[in-house]
Amino acid sequence: MKRFSEVNPTKCFGFLFLVVLFLLPVFVFGTKSYYLRIAVLVLMFAGMSNGWNLISGYGNQVSLGHAAFFGLGAYTSTLLLKYIGLSPWLGMIAAGLVSGLSSLLVGIPTFRLRGHYYALATLAFAEVLRVLALYFRHFTGGAVGLTVPYLGDSFWFFQFYGNRTYYLVGLFMLFMTLLITYRIDRGRLGYQLRALKNSHEAAEVVGVDTYRAKLKANFLSALITGMYGTFYAQFQFFIDADTVLGFWTISVKMALMTILGGMGNIWGPLIGAGILVPLDEWTNAVFTGNLAAVSRLIYGGLLIALILWQPRGLLYWIYQSVARVWQRSRGIEKIGGNG
Amino acid sequence: MKELLQVEKVSKRFGGLMAVNQVSFSVQEGEIVGLIGPNGAGKTTMFNLIVSLYKPDKGGILFRGEPIHTLSSHEIAERGITKTFQITTLFDDMSILDNVVVGAFLRHKKLAEAMAKAKEALAAVGLTATVTQTPKELNHVDRARLEIARALATSPSILLLDEVMAGLTPAETKEALNMIRQIRDRGVTLMVVEHNMRAVMSLCSRIIAFDSGMKITEGSPAEVSGHPKVIESYLGKGYEIA
Amino acid sequence: MELLQAMINGILIGGVYALIGVGLTLVFGVMDIVNFAQAEFMMLGMYIAFFLFQVAGIDPILSSLIVFGVVFLIGALVQKGLIQRVMNAPMVSQIFLTVGLTMVLVSTTQLLFGATFRSVTTSYQMLALHFGHLQFSVPYLIAFGVSITIYFLLWLFLERTDLGRSMRATAQNRSAAILVGINDKKMYVLALGLGTGLAASAGAVILPYAYVFPTVGHQYALIMFTTVVLGGFGSVPGALLGGIIVGIIQSVSSVYLPTQLQNLVVFIAFIITLVYKPAGLLGR
């Protein structure tokens, strides 16, 4: 895959361009705009999926239960807010830590084993948390859910009127997530993860503690995802076990977006989120009631199609197409030159 | 001279096969020890046991007096022992430079330092291919070089080379021998498994001969090459050197 | 006494769990793939049995044979058309192909049959045998009996027939099996067909006492995976042992804990197995 490691003026220009592009929605859409709301969700899912990507893409350990970390984070900060009035910003840190530590529960037993075990363990973990959350409904609101107490437009309590500020917060969080992922990728952990993906044995023999590397990646992944759980709670003002700890609602979505855009690559999740979040909103609006299953059918079909024909995602497909066109134009030049 | 590595009565069995049978030997600092024997004699298994890719069923392995056979491979690499793979096992999705950087990261935590070390290691093995290429584009000889570079980047005390001179022309072999000697001169103790007898004899100060999982003899190149059991293991009973 | 009753129920249910799980373990053993859609094939089996009962009045226990056959064919097609293509792909692809399959199966049945809970009423549904203070629910007994019978037939197939032995050979060493002339692709089709068919017949067998609805597979997923992990991935007798143990754990924990927390105990068993004996009790 292309590496964005060239340091040159083009990079700076590109960066500025992106900044402007990303800030556009804030100015174009009204703060109560439905489109801005979707944009916020795009940013959120892009960040979350990046978190998933850290362990499943870079770390090559597929997680089927990241909803566990998401939901844990959401409940942690919301319960702290509810019971001790803790600012959700601090709650977000707590959420990240709780999720991060919980990641050890699944990582420690499974990372010495083959990948299937981690996948199953995360699946089971999320499911168990969901069941527990439904059961302890006195605490968690059970199936009915928890509403985040409305305390007015307040920065301290991470609640804002309208969507604009959420968008900016989301943008900042996404930026930080991408930065963290980028730094990991270009640093020791990233190299170790890539190495062990290629050959576990060879990596170990040249000194890579593969077990530790995976645990680290998993921790960071869970941490990021947990923090997004808080963001979600503060944005939606409402969380419930079936949504925030749900296999289909969160775990599969994060995975699907990343696979669509391209795994093991920092821009993939963003592209995937950019396509799937609006698509999701659209299908939910169109296929209601009895037809609700149609959207799931579409996503299932999409997932299968992706795996069969573009397993490396859209980004790779774009890269290949561009490379092919470029090569072809070069070829034509050469022939013309010899004529 | 210090006894750097001690292998004591190590045995390893795979199902019905006794791959390594009560083998003992030691390696002194600064030596280049050759490990010879017919295919299937247990040489690669012995290497794998030293770096803990396999655990011995019986016996122990000591490095600087401390048992290492209970440690994991990466811990052993940390202590200072690493190996190259008989069938080159490179990180094919990473560039040539990045392959070596992975090794360098063992002792250098920052990317810049690791890269510098990696470039040093590449120079030491004489790999001049464009470092942004992937290993897939390299020929067989350069792939072997890359494996060595990656191992060197871990700043090992002991380097185990597994048939790195396989398939080399005489000229290439001479180059390889020089390179290995230079590595030794930099303070690395070496063990090499090779089938090229002339190369082994000229390179190694001491040779250990294996057959069917057992050490049949060890000694100087002259002693070993004339040893009847060694000749028998390669050529069969009844062969007489004219 | 309640404990003993719970254990008995656990064993009876466990037999069925074993049947659902053995398909998963078989597919893993032969193909090295975890079929995440396994529980959905059980759901498929339940629906087929349900409709056979509605339309033709066939008792689900009897129709389990037909159900097996139908889903076997479906499984074989799925293998040929979909899974074969990712046999050499990275694990990510294999996992998500079957996840996508789950989505397609669940949503298709939901669209076709709606989300309502369906059940059958058989003449023996409410019957129970009594031995002293112990009760043996007849549907449970029959389900257990049929499951064990099918299990035994499977064992016979694997041990005594050439085809079965070929499959075991493929499971043990793919390349060696190919070298002695076994058609590995054929083995995979057979394995997946068998695996899914078995799960489906398990579904038919529990219909007398369970409801069927599109997402019923979800509930059994955790149980099924724990069964296989406990027993050992790839071990057919392991799935039987695992199933029974999981059944007992679940049943006994319901004596002391509220129903919703049963799965928690199963999950803990799952994690403990991973930590102390990842290869499972009878694993390779």
Please list the pLDDT of chain C residue by residue as tens digits (284 residues): 778 888 888 999 999 999 999 999 999 989 989 999 999 999 999 999 999 998 888 888 888 899 999 999 999 999 999 999 999 888 899 999 999 999 999 999 999 888 888 887 777 777 778 877 778 888 888 888 888 898 899 988 988 888 888 888 888 888 888 888 888 888 899 999 999 999 999 999 988 888 889 989 888 888 899 999 999 888 888 999 999 999 999 988 888 888 778 888 888 888 888 878 888 888 75
Instruction: Classify residue B93: in a domain, yes or no.
Output: no
Nearest to A188 among B94, B105, B151 (CB): B105
Say what the pLDDT of residue C179 is: 86
A52 pLDDT more than 60: yes
Range of the domain at B24: 1-73+189-242
Dihedral angle sign, alpha carbons of residues A62, A68, A71, A72: negative
Distances (CA, A) of A244 to A68, A118, A142, B191: 8, 20, 12, 57
Report, as an integer, the average pLDDT of B187-202. Answer: 91
Q: Could you report the per-residue pLDDT of B54-83, keeping only the tens digit for each?
A: 999 999 999 999 999 999 999 999 999 999
> How many angstroms separate the CA atoms of A95 and A224, rounded?
9
Question: Does any CB of chain C come closer than 8 Å to the CB of residue A200?
Answer: no
Would you say residue A336 has pLDDT above 60?
no
Cβ-Cβ contacts under 8 Å between A and B: the total is 80
A40 has a chain C CB within 8 A of its CB = no
Read off the pLDDT of each residue in B181-187 and give the average, rounded to a whole number. Answer: 94
Interface of A with C in 208-247 (CB under 8 A): 247
pLDDT at B147 over 60: yes
Name the residue among B30, B25, B71 with its Cα closest to residue B189.
B30
Going from N- to C-terminal start, the domains of chain C cover 2-115+131-276
Domain count, chain B: 1
Does B28 reside within a domain?
yes
**Chain A environment of C264 (Cβ under 8 Å):** 128, 131-132
Q: For residue B198, what is the domain's CATH number?
A: 3.40.50.300
Q: Is C20 on the interface with A (CB under 8 A)?
A: no
What single string gives the DSSP state of each residue in C22-49? HHHHHHHHHH----TTHHHHHHHHHHHH
Task: Specify if B122 maps to a domain.
Answer: no
Q: Is B23 on the interface with A (CB under 8 A)?
A: no
- Smallest CA–CA separation between B102 and chain A, in Å? 6
Contacts of B36 (CB under 8 A, 6+ apart): B43, B193, B194, B195, B197, B200, B207, B208, B209, B210, B224, B230
B146 is a domain residue: no
Q: Which two tokens stand for residue B10?
A: 């190590």
pLDDT digits (tens, 9 = 90+) for C8-24: 889 999 999 999 999 99
Mean residue pLDDT of chain B comes to 90
Which subunits sit against A, judged by 3+ Cβ pairs under 8 A? Answer: B, C
Which chain A residues contact residue C222 at CB under 8 A? Answer: 123-124, 127-128
pLDDT at B239: 53
Interchain proximity C93–A307, CB inside 8 Å = yes
Question: What span, in angstroms and rounded, lies between the C-alpha atoms of B51 and B80?
Answer: 10
Which pLDDT value is given to residue A3?
A: 58
Helix residue ranges per DSSP H, A241-267: 241-244, 253-261
pLDDT at A292 > cutoff 80: no
Q: What is this model's ipTM?
A: 0.91
The yes/no answer on whether domain C2-115+131-276 falls in CATH 1.10.3470 is yes
Please check whether residue B84 lies inside any domain of the structure: no
**Closest to B76 (Cα-Cα) out of B22, B143, B5:** B5
Q: What is the pLDDT of residue B237?
A: 61
**Domain residue extents for chain A:** 26-297
Fold of A26-297: ABC transporter involved in vitamin B12 uptake, BtuC (1.10.3470)
Q: What is the tens place of the pLDDT at every residue in B2-46?
A: 689 999 999 999 988 899 999 999 999 999 999 999 888 899 999
Q: From CA C11, how far away is CA C167, in angstroms rounded? A: 29
> Residue B226 falls within a domain, yes or no?
yes
DSSP reduced 3-state for C65:
helix
- Alpha-carbon gap: B189 to the closest alpha carbon of chain A (Å): 16
Cβ–Cβ under 8 Å, residues A260 and A76:
no
Contacting residues of A for B94, CB less than 8 Å apart:
191, 194-195, 198
Each residue's pLDDT tens digit, A239-271: 999 999 989 889 999 999 999 999 978 899 999
